[in-house]
Amino acid sequence: MGLRILFLHIIFLFSFLGIKAQVVLNNAFGFTNGIYKDFEEFRDNSPSILWPDVTSDLIVMEPVHKAKMANLKLLNNQKINQDDIWGFCVNGTPYIKVEKDSGSVMQEYAGLRLRGRVCFYEYEKTIIELVEVSAFNPMTNKPFRTANVKKEKTITKKIMLDFETGKSDYFTIANVRKWIDTDKKLSETMESTEPEKIKKQLFKFLQIFNDRNPVMMK
């Protein structure tokens, strides 16, 4: 009984002092809904603009971790330039502003697929490639005319984000090696893994790194 009373007294003291329990940052952690002006607001889980204070044309596609937004305004009809924001949070999931395809009316955002010391997101980007096309003489089967033709191609950009510094880099084997090198045991495991297995398990290495090197949130 005495221990129970002491435990309740400790809880009351923490509540009185405004001390919040810390929790691990992982995919189950829900961020505060709102708009981040910069990375620091995201890291501190403290959006400076809340959704009830704005209007917008917002499309969120949660299953594919994508979102699009246009016409972001304060309630007094003052426009907020999306060039001046870093991202936003909806239903506890952060979405980061990414490159917008030319001609696109809505700004695109990518939802975090991994939350932890190393975060991860990906998005599609349309690029224009010059493809060499030849016309062949059916009699000789030899080209008689060749030209470079513009062709659209969709690529997927995979990005790692350092939760503590805001640094980002492409999700490649070489970069993952650098980002997890503070965990010597995990680095050694990666070095001893066959290259083909590394390709298949690369995302898993980030998950393990986050589990072994947690970030605590209030």
Q: What residue numbers bound the domain in which 177 lies?
A: 172-213
pLDDT tens digit sequence for 29-50: 999 999 999 999 999 999 999 9
Determine, yes or no, domain membership for 136.
no
Q: How far apart are CA 30 and CA 27, in angstroms?
A: 8
pLDDT tens digit sequence for 55-68: 999 999 999 999 99
Are both 108 and 39 inside the same structural domain?
yes
Determine, yes or no, domain membership for 148.
no
Q: What's the total number of domains in the chain?
A: 2
Are both 25 and 113 inside the same structural domain?
yes
Are both 115 and 179 inside the same structural domain?
no
Question: What pLDDT is recorded for position 153?
Answer: 84
Determine, yes or no, domain membership for 209.
yes
Q: Whole-prediction pTM value?
A: 0.83
Residue 156: C-alpha distances to residues 112, 211, 212 (Å)? 15, 26, 28
Determine, yes or no, domain membership for 91.
yes
Q: How far, rounded to the nearest angstrom, does the alpha carbon of residue 197 sit from its chain's CA centroid?
A: 24
Question: What pLDDT is recorded for position 148?
Answer: 77
Determine, yes or no, domain membership for 36.
yes
> 17-49: string of b/e by CB count within 10 Å (b at 16+)?
eeeeeeeebeeeeebebbbbeebebbbebebeb
